[in-house]
Amino acid sequence: MEGAAERGVLAVLVVLAGLAACGSGSEIIEGPKNVTALKGSEARFNCTISQGWKLIMWALRGTVVLSMTPNGSIITNDRFTSASYQEGANFISEMIIHDVQLSDAGQVKCSLQNSDRDGAAFLSVQVMGRLLIPGGSLVVIEDNPCNITCRALNWTPLPDLSWEIGVPVSHSSYYSILEPEDLQSVESVLALTPQGNGTVTCVAEMKGLDVRESVTVRLTVVQPPLDSIDKPGTSLPTWAIVLLAVSLSLLLILVIVLIIILCCCVSRTEKEGNLLLKSATMKTSKDTLGTKLESGNENYGYHSDEPRTIHEWLEPASLHDKSSEASVPEQRSSRQPHQESNHHQLGPANHPPVSFNMGSPKKVRNVTLV
């Protein structure tokens, strides 16, 4: 085997040397285009050349892997084969890469011997890894939130994960997170509240290729246990939570309205009471003022400048004596003989009445109302 391979290489070199010496007047009309291929699949590149060519060379990542002459192809590796087509006056050379590997990713070049122009393209290789849902088929409780996890392992590049839900649910959402210890893996978590039986499918789509991978699990929904209804912490159904929230909101609004109405009524009642009280007070003041004007009180501390007789000067003293006698009746009875002797001494028999006429002008006596 090694001797045959060495002879093949030597034959290629001899042919290339001969063609190089002969030269070529053809040129590349259109070079290959970029290709994205899955690992393990085939990748094809085409190069359109004008007539008169002598040698076509295909290189991958700087190394010639396939050569073609008008007499046939020179193959050094079974993974690289060729095909040819005629398109009018032009010749199309095709290189086929079988069982594409990650190590094949790189530049692909088509060139002619003794030609300054070549055609280049880029080969991208993607790896489809495994897609799985741990646990397989699941049994969940009706109207009870649950999570389903889908993992994509060893993908290059990382795929886009999505979900296809085939069960009736009241709520569903999902998000993706990267594996911290594996940069070629991603995980998607589906959160849903199931209400019936069905299937759930996790879908992985490759970027740049119309290729997708999916995995499906069966979801069986059961009724909640009877003893869990009365347990603390058991969540209510969504419709019950919504109904309770609406009822509480309406009750709160009604309480606020009643408080506002009550405050308005109390304020109005207070205003009316103040007005009635003010009116009654004003009426009472007017009645009191009128009564005082009709019957005023005499101010005994007022002294007139009119001439007064001796009797008028003695009258206040006698009134004072009478009030003293009324307050202390026993003293009056015990001292009555003595007082009578005094009165006899001041009687009219011993002292005739005398009147004093003051020289001041006559004035009118005034009464002060309090």
Is residue 345's pLDDT more than 70?
A: no
- The region of weakest confidence among 27-41, 188-202, 218-232 is 218-232
The pLDDT of residue 182: 84
CA distance 175 to 192: 12
**Are 32 and 120 within 8 A, CB to CB?**
yes
CA distance 54 to 13: 14
pLDDT tens-digit series, residues 111-121: 998 787 889 99
Percent of the chain with pLDDT over 90: 45
Q: How confident is the model at residue 281 (pLDDT cuts 50, 70, 90)?
A: confident
CA distance 113 to 115: 6
Mean pLDDT of the 334-349 span: 41
Is residue 333's pLDDT more than 50?
A: no
Burial letters for 207-231: b for 16+ Cβ neighbours within 10 Å, e otherwise? eeeeeebebebebebeeeeeeeeee
Highest mean pLDDT among 173-182, 275-284, 334-343: 173-182
The pLDDT of residue 235: 62
**Are 102 and 129 within 8 A, CB to CB?**
no
The pLDDT of residue 191: 95
Mean pLDDT of the 304-310 span: 51
3-state secondary structure at position 295: coil
**Are 59 and 108 within 8 A, CB to CB?**
yes
Mean pLDDT of the chain: 76
Q: How confident is the model at residue 227 (pLDDT cuts 50, 70, 90)?
A: low
Is residue 313's pLDDT more than 70?
A: no
Is residue 186's pLDDT more than 90?
A: yes
User: What is this structure's pTM?
Assistant: 0.52
Is residue 204's pLDDT more than 70?
A: yes
Which comes out higher in pLDDT, residue 176 or 293? 176
Q: Exposure of 161 by Cβ count < 10 A (0-12 exposed, 13-18 middle, 19+ buried)? A: buried
Residues 6+ apart with CB under 8 A from 203: 161, 162, 163, 164, 212, 213, 214
Alpha-carbon distance values, 188 to 152, 153, 164, 202 (Å): 8, 12, 13, 9
- The region of weakest confidence among 141-150, 159-168, 306-315 is 306-315
Give the side-chain half-sphere CA count within 13 A for 6: 3
Residues 6+ apart with CB under 8 A from 148: 133, 138, 189, 190, 192, 200, 217, 219
